[in-house]
Structure 1
């Protein structure tokens, strides 16, 4: 049985007068691949931030396993602008300790197209928004995390970069991943479960985005049939 990474229980969250999440209970386990979908402003990113522990719910509880290591892509926005890319991604680890690591080389080559000192020595504050996002991705993928939460990870990646990212994630079998993205191909490539945030609740579906679309249509059809039968009985 897969190890549980994090649970949220009866979680509610509102901004101003809008209730984004209402008594939501969910769990993420080792190896889960979950796509989060819903209309803009429905609470998808808020749900991920609560799971990651970077935002607190108004009500409810978030519980993670004692050893769980969780990372979220948006955290990179708070890095020191004077730090180099190498320091942001690898901390104080000496270059000779990581320069020959195949995983680090693979990630940087996949996201930046090369692996050289020019990338590692650049100041974080001098990077474009797209470059910062790629640095954030690199940090998440290189560190040994149990769960990564990705909000629009394919933004600023070209077609080859998106394909590489999907392939890399699929090669990390025990890694749990949740994804919010408008890239439907990417959702189908990396996820096998779907959460739809709608009306403050989260509806769960098996399968990636394409399977979700079909399953949602079938649920709507069944609901319509039941409503028609109920109305006929009332008459």
Structure 2
């Protein structure tokens, strides 16, 4: 369907691809992976025609409809949410308008030849309109908006009244409603809650029939959707059959094979070069030496790709807390709305958090998970009830708001040093490297960091402190898969207690041993991990 052949692309002095290629096949489901800056988003823009090639070809049928969702949604204003979504299907809307105009023409008197031409054109337009789903365009747009968390009450809200995260959902709804032949999704789950992620997962599996090329930081989402992986990195593009987990295994196998081949080639080259060096001056061996020189010139040298070295940081053992870390009884929280009316969040919530617990707090969007963590961490006072902190408990709290408290003028290193003045330079640099700020990256200023980098920086300052209770509200937001794995490994090795809200199912499945579910203002504890919770509730998605 789409063929990328011998493509070369360079940004400044950096070569992203050189004579690389891949294919997007009909009805294929492909994940696009690679380190930050390798060129994943460039691949999307090349396919979509937003950037040009330095060499090679991209071929695609002119009739192929491509839908591209990126993190840059542009300006949205002047329409309702529903109208904004429908407007993306511009060609379909125009066809509908043409059908209406032609139906009006048919009511006017005209000669037989003109009527015959009009009817022929009407049939062609009607067929294309039907193929594009024109007759159910509005109902499809409504269904997609609802699935992404924007219900009927908000269909007619001005699009400019939505926050940035909700505008991203509207932008995603535009592309899904278009129902293109090829769907390019660049991090579609970034601003979605778990319910919307599961809805999107099911829609792509059950409703969408075209080709999908996507990037995602959500490992479960990727695994459940894709059957191929295209890896971008080291100036080339490599295709793997299978989902993301298969790709990780296969990549390691291929790398081991490449290392073995490289070692054998180096041994062979060393012998040949030794022979040439020893006998180059002897006339009796001139023919043999010349033959081996020509042989070496023709050999295609195996090059090992650069391997991103991950630094492990040995976190200090946190002070031991009492067995009962947090006890809460009859907790209730009520927020007051702008119009003065009360907005109850939860009530009558009682429970106990014990030392060593790693607890996921789950519930639908708006259930009160973040408010619950704020009350437990004493960020806000409860409207009713008590929270008792146990003996020798040293808590740390993370939320997306934590990133706003960073000093934009300071560097990564200065930020970590300010938070952890007792650590030596070497230990601080090692901590930064463990959270993917190696070498000169520690000199980056905070105001130049991406959302994911700021999140990693705050988490580094938190996990580097001698805390024994971590209360984490969406720490995986903005983090790519590699960063999530770094955080997951750190928390798995953390000897203290953790309460966490996250939409990453793989992360929760790999970490927690208990679950607190908040539903309709009531908290229900589950004495098992995330998989146990799913089995008990049937919330498989």
Fold-level similarity (TM above 0.5): yes
- 1:142 and 2:142 matched: no
Structure 2 counterpart of 1:31: 27
1:112 to 149, 153, 165: 149
Q: 1:17 to 1:169 in 2, by over 3 A?
A: same
| Aligned 8 A contact 2:141 2:177 in 1 | yes
Select the residue among 191, 196, 209 that pairs with 2:244. 209
Aligned length: 226
Q: Quick check: 1:151 aligned with 2:186?
A: yes
Higher mean C-alpha deviation, range 60-69 or range 211-220: 60-69
Q: How far apart, in 1, do the equivalents of 2:33 and 2:71 lie?
A: 21
Distance 1:218 1:225 in 2: 11
Deviation at 1:131, TM superposition (A): 0.9
Contact 1:76 1:132 in 2 (8 A): no
Distance 1:66 1:221, change over 3 A: same
Q: Conserved in 2, the CA contact under 8 Å of 1:79 and 1:88?
A: no
Question: How many angstroms does 1:51 deviate by?
Answer: 1.1
After TM superposition, the score normalised by the length of structure 1 is 0.86
Is 1:62 matched up with 2:58?
A: yes
Q: Is the 8 A contact 2:34 2:233 kept in 1?
A: yes
Match of 2:259 among 193, 209, 224: 224
Instruction: Could you tell me which runs of 5 or more consecutive residues in structure 2 were left unpaired when the two chains were aligned.
Output: 97-134, 272-541
Listed one character per residue, the Cα deviations across residues 142-168 of structure 1 (whole Å, up to 9, x for unaligned) are 113101111110011111211111111
Counterpart in 1 of 2:12? 16
Measure how far apart 1:75 and its partner are. Answer: 8.3
Residues 88 and 222 (structure 1), Cα distance of their counterparts in 2 relative to 1, 3 Å cut: same
Partner Cα separation in structure 2 for residue 163 and residue 120 of structure 1: 21
Q: Map of 1:84-103 to 2, 5 A cutoff? A: 84-91=80-87, 101=139, 103=140
Distance in 1, Cα, partners of 2:70 & 2:137: 26
Q: Secondary structure at the match of 1:140?
A: helix
Unaligned stretches of 5+ residues in structure 1: none
Q: Secondary structure at the match of 1:53?
A: coil
| Alignment partner of 1:82 is 2:119 | no
Query: How much does 1:65 deviate?
Result: 0.8
Q: What is residue 200 of structure 2 aligned with on the other side?
A: 165
CA distance in 2, matches of 1:121, 1:173: 26
Quick one: distance in 2 between partners of 1:172 and 1:48? Answer: 23
Aligned to 1:188: 223
Quick one: distance in 2 between partners of 1:201 and 1:122?
A: 45
**Following the alignment from structure 1 to structure 2, what is the Cα–Cα distance between the partners of residues 139 and 7?**
26
- Using a 3 Å threshold, how does the CA distance of structure 1 residues 75 and 41 change in structure 2: closer, same or farther? closer
Deviates more, 1:171-180 or 1:188-197: 171-180
1:17 and 1:183 mapped to 2: Cα distance? 32
Answer with 1 or 2: which has the greater Rg.
2
SS of 1:125's partner is helix
Distance 1:232-1:74 versus aligned 2 partners, 3 A rule = closer
CA deviation profile, 1:100-157 (whole Å, cap 9, x unmatched): 73x334322210152x1x4222223332221111111111111131011111100111
For residues 99 and 125 of structure 1, what CA distance do their matches in structure 2 show?
A: 23
SS in 2 for 1:112: coil
CA deviations over 1:41-65 (Å, ceiling 9, x no partner): 1100111111122222222222211
Rate the CA distance shift 1:221–1:99 in 2: closer, same or farther, 3 A. Answer: closer
Distance 1:69 1:131 in 2: 25
Across the aligned residues of Structure 1 and Structure 2, the Cα RMSD in angstroms comes to 2.3
In structure 2, distance between residues paired with 1:227 and 1:99 = 56
SS of structure 1 residue aligned to 2:261: helix
**Which residue among 174, 179, 204 is the counterpart of 2:214?**
179
Following superposition, the deviation at residue 7 of structure 1 comes to: 1.8
Higher relative contact order (CA 8 A, sep 6+): 1
CA contact (8 A) 1:69 1:145 kept: yes
Deviation of 1:178 (Å): 0.7
Alpha-carbon distance between aligned partners in 1 of 2:82 and 2:75, rounded to the nearest angstrom: 12
